[in-house]
Amino acid sequence: MEHESQPGASKSAPFLISVQQLAKYYYLGRTVVPALRGIDLEVKHGEFVALMGPSGSGKSTFMNLLGCLDRPTSGSYLFDGMPVSQMTTNQLADIRNHKIGFVFQGFNLLPWMTALENVQLPLAYSDLPAEERHQLAWWALTMVGLRSRAQHRPMELSGGQQQRVAIARALVTGPSLLLADEPTGNLDSHTSIQVMAILQELNARGITILLVTHEADIAQYSHRQVKFRDGKVVDDAPNPAPSQAQERLQQQPGLDETKVIS
Ligand SMILES: Nc1ncnc2c1ncn2[C@@H]1O[C@H](COP(=O)(O)OP(=O)(O)O)[C@@H](O)[C@H]1O
Ligand SMILES: [Mg+2]
């Protein structure tokens, strides 16, 4: 998705993500930990996929590979048709900085910066003029319904608001893929639904989303559920009727002041 929130991502390749026999082994002294043992997975532009599976099954390792934060031991990964495994470190950084946004369970905001400054951070090394960076940060905060909290620091915000700031920070570069690793893991159930409402809205605007969760309720908001076990995909099923988070919120009014996406 570009910054103007037009629907539809680039359709240059049939799949945004295509991995084949992706493997990752961690070597700890003389011990080998097979974190991923041959993953085959294709994700179309605009999909919303929930990745599930027990702790230690390789979900975070997989997200890190998809996000170009780490390299696989073997196997291939095409991102929008481009062979990531053959890219240089600079090309990887370029994809990471322009095409992919990350959201983690711990919000990872800098405590001494305001919400607006945190959101603007990924643009610090871009060659955009300061005014444009500022505008983009406001746009991203607007997308998560938090304009009114722009000047607050993280400790003056609730957990859900902090996660929304983190989502805005992931969005500010206009990524086509959002990787969210247990983004609701530290949130209560109502706040989790608010976060899911934002993710569903972003997905409706064309951003492809991969979400790790071990909560079945949360996975219900996706179009497709993929299950990992022992570093392999053991199940991959469409969800023909995803729950609608915005509808859920309207059924439980009054718990929060903020309308999601103003
Ligand atoms: N940096 C690392 N060094 C060594 N082993 C790791 C590292 N990261 C993960 N692992 C191991 O790889 C396996 C998969 O971990 P992870 O991808 O974090 O699983 P999940 O996110 O599903 O809980 C686990 O056995 C874990 O202990
Ligand atoms: Mg994990």
Pick out the chain residues at pLDDT < 70: 1-12, 253-262
Which CATH code of 3.10.310.30, 3.30.1330.20, 3.40.50.1820, 3.40.50.300 fits the domain covering 45-71+89-251? 3.40.50.300
pTM recorded for the entire structure: 0.91
80: nearest Cα among 21, 19, 20, 12 = 12
pLDDT for res 2: 45
**Tokens found for residue 82:** 């481009």
Segment holding 215, helix H or strand E: none
Ligand 1 residue neighbourhood (C-beta within 6 Å)? 26, 28, 33, 35, 53, 55-61
pLDDT for res 18: 97
Residue recorded with tokens 């910066």: 113
pLDDT for res 8: 42
**Which spans in 32-176 are helix H?**
59-66, 89-98, 115-120, 130-143, 159-171
Neighbour tally for 216: CB within 10 Å: 10
- Find all residues with CB under 8 Å of 47, minimum gap 6, and list them: 16, 208, 209, 223, 224
Q: Which atom of ligand 1 has the smallest separation from the CA of 54?
A: 22
By alpha-carbon position, which residue is closest to atom 5 of ligand 1? 26
Give the ligand at the shortest distance from the Cα of 66. Answer: 1
Q: Which atom of ligand 1 has the smallest separation from the CA of 28?
A: 4
CA of 247 from ligand 2 middle (Å) equals 29
Pairing between β-strand 31-44 and β-strand 48-52 as defined by DSSP bridges: unpaired
Give the ligand at the shortest distance from the Cα of 35. Answer: 1
Neighbour tally for 70: CB within 10 Å: 13
By alpha-carbon position, which residue is closest to atom 10 of ligand 1? 35
Distance from C-alpha of 179 to C-alpha of 83, rounded to nearest angstrom:
19
Tens digits of residue pLDDT in 26-60:
999 999 999 999 999 999 999 999 999 999 999 99
By alpha-carbon position, which residue is closest to atom 7 of ligand 1? 26
CA of 53 from ligand 2 middle (Å) equals 9
